[in-house]
Amino acid sequence: MSELPLLEIDGLAISFQTPRGPVRAVDGVSLRVERGQTVCVAGESGCGKSVTALSVMGLLPDAGRVEAGSIRLRGVDLLALPPRERRSLRGRALSMVFQEPMTALNPVLTIGAQVAEVFAIHGTATRREARERTIALLRQVRIADPERRVDDYPHQLSGGMKQRVMIALALANRPELLIADEPTTALDVTIQAQVLDLLRDLQRELSTGIVFVTHDLAVVAEIADRVVVMVGGRVVEEGSVFDVLERPAHPYTIGLLGARPRPGQTRRGGARLEVIPGAVPADGTRVEGCRYQARCPRAQARCRTDVPALARVARAGAGAGHSAACHFPEGGLA
């Protein structure tokens, strides 16, 4: 019997209550993550990627509600667990690194106190052990002079160091699953590269599965094993990082890759970035058929009425797990 996937999301649908009525933010999302694997969830702002990540943690805002689907961690449906039991898993079996470390850390507590609290909540270390383990964690995430830094407050640290503290918090109890929601967005390119290197090294050491939420395809290329591309709350393409970035099938993915700056491309040379036409539909706007059809250069009459199902890409050389939700993808469908 094959081993269960570390994380399996199946048919997840999430709505938010608004003054104009319920708005579907996530619509039938499915994905899986194996132990030691990094799956990047990519897409523009408002596509539902962060909402999907928060739902795994059980941290949806009060206005959000899971309407359908399941979220299984090693076969256990998290949505079916009592609230107290689900809370006990956070910080132990699964953890999250949030997008903005400047606001995620408590400014009136030392970083040592904040990391030690993770041990205290789960009863995994005494007070003395917690300090020693916190220093070891800070050293593990490459914070210099951790014996001194453990007593620093967040305002005494740089942005990159704050993000390393957030990673230390998330990994304190060696969780099986780590969710990283745009963890490098607020960092400059050099620090971003260091954080990505750190996550890779820690993953190899701990065999942690990672769900990495991002809009940056350069980050996807750097860290992903598999990629899930979302548009309007739906998955439109998924596959290995090579298949999705080197041989994209969905017009949206092709457009995203085309909009990247090229090496040596300058305004002085007259080069212009390609753009995806149109705009994301406003929240609450009902779109029949394909969510991307109003902006898609390949759209035909069928796209305005029929929702495309995720199906395997038929192009020669496409990986077995390369799928697209498009009626007219590059290379066709199997």
User: Which H, E and C letters describe 207-255, residue by residue?
Assistant: CCEEEEEECCHHHHHHHCCEEEEEECCEEEEEEEHHHHHHCCCCHHHHH
Largest CA distance in the chain: 67
Total Cβ atoms within 10 A of residue 5: 18
**Per-residue pLDDT for 308 more than 80?**
yes
Q: Report which of residues 259 and 199 the model is more confident about.
A: 199
Whether the CB-CB separation of 46 and 26 falls below 8 Å is answered with no
pLDDT band at residue 304 using 50, 70 and 90 as cut-offs: very high
pLDDT at 128: 82
pLDDT single digits (tens) 229-278: 999 999 999 999 999 999 999 999 999 998 877 666 666 655 677 788 77
Whether the CB-CB separation of 287 and 208 falls below 8 Å is answered with no
Q: How far apart are CA 298 and CA 308, in angstroms?
A: 13
| For residues 144-172, average pLDDT | 92
b/e sequence 200-209, b meaning 16+ C-beta within 10 Å: eebbeebebb
pLDDT band at residue 1 using 50, 70 and 90 as cut-offs: very low
pLDDT single digits (tens) 318-331: 777 899 999 999 87
| For residues 197-218, average pLDDT | 90
- CA-wise closest residue to 191 among 223, 211, 163: 163
Q: What is the side-by-side order of every strand in the sheet holding 7-18?
A: 21-33, 7-18, 64-73, 76-77
In sequence order, the 6+-apart residues with CB closer than 8 A to the CB of 264 are: none
**Per-residue pLDDT for 228 more than 70?**
yes
pLDDT at 77: 96
Total Cβ atoms within 10 A of residue 33: 25
- How far CA 330 is from CA of 250, 278, 314, in Å, comes to 7, 21, 9
User: Which domains can be identified in the chain, with CATH numbers?
Assistant: 7-230 (3.40.50.300), 233-260+289-334 (no CATH)
**Per-residue pLDDT for 52 more than 70?**
yes
Q: Report which of residues 49 and 189 the model is more confident about.
A: 49
Q: Which of 143-147, 170-174, 203-207, 262-266 has the lowest mean pLDDT?
A: 262-266
Task: Give the β-pairing of 234-240 and 226-231.
Answer: antiparallel
Q: How far apart are CA 80 and CA 282, in angstroms?
A: 32
Q: Report which of residues 188 and 151 the model is more confident about.
A: 151
pLDDT at 269: 59
| For residues 134-151, average pLDDT | 92
Mean pLDDT over the full length of the chain: 89
pLDDT at 89: 92
pLDDT band at residue 293 using 50, 70 and 90 as cut-offs: very high
Whether the CB-CB separation of 192 and 219 falls below 8 Å is answered with yes
- CA-wise closest residue to 180 among 81, 116, 94, 239: 94
Angle between helices 159-171 and 111-122 (to 10 degrees): 10
| For residues 288-310, average pLDDT | 92
pLDDT single digits (tens) 72-122: 999 999 999 999 999 999 988 999 998 877 788 999 999 999 998 888 888
Helices marked H in the chain: 49-57, 83-89, 101-104, 111-122, 127-140, 146-149, 159-171, 189-206, 217-223, 241-246, 251-258
pLDDT at 183: 87
Whether the CB-CB separation of 167 and 141 falls below 8 Å is answered with yes
**Per-residue pLDDT for 2 more than 70?**
no
